[in-house]
Every structure is written in C-alpha cells, then in structure tokens.
Amino acid sequence: MKILVPVKRAIDYNVKVRVKADYSGVDLANAKMAINPFCEIAVEEAVKLKEQGVATEVVVVSIGDKSCQEQIRTALALGADRGIQIDTDEKLDSLQIAKLLSKLVEKESPDLVILGKQSIDSDNNQTGQMLAALTGMPQGTFASKVDIDDNKVKVTREIDGGLQTVQLDLPAVITTDLRLNEPRYASLPNIMKAKRKPLDVMPAADFGVDLSSKVKVLKVNPPAQREGGVKVDSVAELVDKLKNEAKVI
C-alpha cells in the first residue's frame, strides 16, 4: 500500500518568536526552521508501516517555495521513498492546502494519508480534516495508535475524556498526536542517500486550484505580558497571600 505524508516547514519549536514592529506578522528572518513536530511523527509512522511490510511506498509532499525541499530531504532521510514539492510563493490557508492535497490524492491514489494534527505556527488543526472532507475519506484525527488490518484501519484517538477507538475503511486520512511514536534521528549515511532520492517539483498553478484566501490577517500583536510576581519564603506566606491578597482560596 502507498502512504502519502504531507509535511510542513515551520519555525523550530524551541524558538521564541517575536512579533514584527509593524504588527504585520511574526519575524521569521534568520529563524531556525524545521519539520513541524507533528509532521515528523507522521513520517515516522509511515516509515514504521513500511518496515513492518504493511506499506510499500512512502511519498512525502510539502507545499511552499524552494526552501521546503530541505524538509522533504529530511523526511527522505528518515526513510520516505520519494518527495514532491508543490511549488508556490503564496502563503496558503488550510483550505487551499487541503484542495491542493486532494488533487494530489487523485493523482497518486494513496491508501492512507498521514498528517500532523496541527502545525505549531498557525495552530489551526484543520488540514487533515479538510482533506478528508474533500476526498470523501473517513478520518482518524489525533491518533495515538494505528492498526491496519486488511482494508480497514483502527485508530485510537486522544479525546478530552480519555481515548476513543474508531475503525475506518481505507483509503483514510489520519492525523497524528504526540504520543503516536517517537521519531528517529536521521543517520549521516541516510542523509547522504536522501540526496539521491527522487524529488519532483510541481507548480501549484498546474493544479487548477484557486489559491486566494477569504481570510485576511489584519494585524499580529504580541500577547499581553504578565506582571512579574513575587517570590515567597514559606508555605505559610504563600497560603496567606493566596487567601488575603489574591483571594483565590
């Protein structure tokens, strides 16, 4: 079976972002970029399924300008077989991304699409669900366990009260939660090998998708800063402050 894994180039999760002085967005110049952590888990899951003999081919796709080829190469070094860059300079919303991916699904007809549940920059948590809707596939979101059996997949999902298991017909869309697996590190030989793996570039314009968005970002502000607090010396003082000063207990 073939697995398609969309990955996103996003700011490294350790970087503390700064809002630009003109409030137009977040300053990404010179910021360290990486594969979005949830996408990395998606790649790991696909590669594991390949190692188990369940999957035969893992195709990685990223949408963006040339710079996202770096993240595709990383995914190839982790064990994916080939990469696709859907080339565009536009800043796309989840809906446009899902539309481009749904066209790619038509072309590639994967049996499974595995995405991260959200990207740590826009924090939308939408693309997988939208892709499932547009392709008519069932969805297993926030997956912490994936079991493939014949033409079905059992997905254990992380929900607010605990865990829920659903069974989906393939082809299906799965989005990964953090506890699905622990991504491996790419070894140097695999990084070298990844350079020779095929990477196709497809212009987004060829997909026949309207890339304009109906959502405008008017401004981006830094969050309200909390006042620096005080350190107390003892439990008694803490309890006294909570009772008499903050009046919260």
Partner 1 sequence: MTVLVYAEHDNNALKGDTAKLISAATQMGGDIHVLVAGSDCAGIAEAAAKIDGVAKVVVADNEAYGHQLAENIAELVVELGKDYDHIVASASTTGKNFMPRVAALLDVAQISDIIGVESPDTFVRPIYAGNAIATVQSEDTIKVITVRAASFDAVGQDNSAPVEASDAVKTSEKSSFVDEQLTESERPELSAADIVISGGRGMQNGENFSLLEGIADKLAAAIGASRAAVDAGFVPNDMQVGQTGKIVAPQLYIAVGISGAIQHLAGMKDSKVIVAINKDEEAPIFQVADYGLVGDLFDILPELEKSI
Minimum CB distance to partner 1 smaller for 170 or for 191:
170
Minimum CB–partner distance for residue 235 and partner 1 (Å): 4
Minimum CB distance to partner 1 smaller for 74 or for 141:
141
Minimum CB distance to partner 1 smaller for 21 or for 188:
21
Minimum CB–partner distance for residue 93 and partner 1 (Å): 5
Q: Are 139 and 175 in contact (CB under 8 A)?
A: yes
- Residue 229: burial class (beta carbons within 10 Å; 0-12, 13-18, 19+): exposed
Minimum CB distance to partner 1 smaller for 40 or for 93:
93
Minimum CB distance to partner 1 smaller for 85 or for 181:
181
Segment (H or E) for 235: helix 235-240
Q: What is the DSSP letter of 66?
A: G
Minimum CB–partner distance for residue 154 and partner 1 (Å): 6
Q: Where are the alpha helices (DSSP H) in 52-170?
A: 69-77, 94-108, 127-135
Minimum CB distance to partner 1 smaller for 113 or for 168:
168
Amino acid in the structure at residue 103: K
Among 173, 209, 213, which Cα is nearest to 86's? 209
Minimum CB–partner distance for residue 215 and partner 1 (Å): 5
Q: Are 140 and 175 in contact (CB under 8 A)?
A: yes
Minimum CB–partner distance for residue 77 and partner 1 (Å): 24
Minimum CB–partner distance for residue 31 and partner 1 (Å): 11
Degrees (nearest 5) of the Cα angle 39, 174, 188? 30
CA-based end-to-end distance of the chain = 57
Record the tokens describing residue 218, joined without a space: 């008017």
**Which residue do the tokens 């999760």 mark?**
13
Question: How far, in whole angstroms, is CA 58 from its chain's centroid?
Answer: 16
